[in-house]
Amino acid sequence: MIEAYFFGSMTVNGKKYNADLKIIDGSVVSNWWRKEGHKLHLEDIADVVAAKPEVLVVGTGASGLMVVEPDVKAILAEKGISLVVEKTDIAVESFNKFLKAGKRVAGAFHLTC
């Protein structure tokens, strides 16, 4: 469960993180770096794809500057993984909603811009 998100920080299961992160099968992968800062490539979420969640929620930052590359969208669709892309504050709400509904949800969150 994500308890809080503020620009540059997120609290997950009682622990505060100050860098981008992924949540896969309930575990946090902290200090997540991407191939290109504001672009999400398939290699950036290979571990998410391998975990085969029902849904991947991507938080694109406070201003929504991170972009999901088209090949990512295509591969996720091919694998039957639903993709939700939103500014991070809204993405947090979506992630928690899916989690409460019992969905196997993964998250990839850009915490700043």
- Return the CATH number at 27: 3.40.1230.10
- Confirm whether pTM is higher than 0.85: yes
Q: For the segment 13-56, what is each residue's pLDDT rounded down to a tens digit? A: 999 999 999 999 999 999 999 999 899 999 999 999 999 999 99
Q: 3-state secondary structure string, 17-75?
A: ECCCEEEECCEEECCCCCCECCEECHHHHHHHHHHCCCEEEEECCCCCCCEECHHHHHH
Domain span at residue 83?
2-109
Quote the number of domains for the chain. Answer: 1
The mean of the pLDDT values for the chain is 97
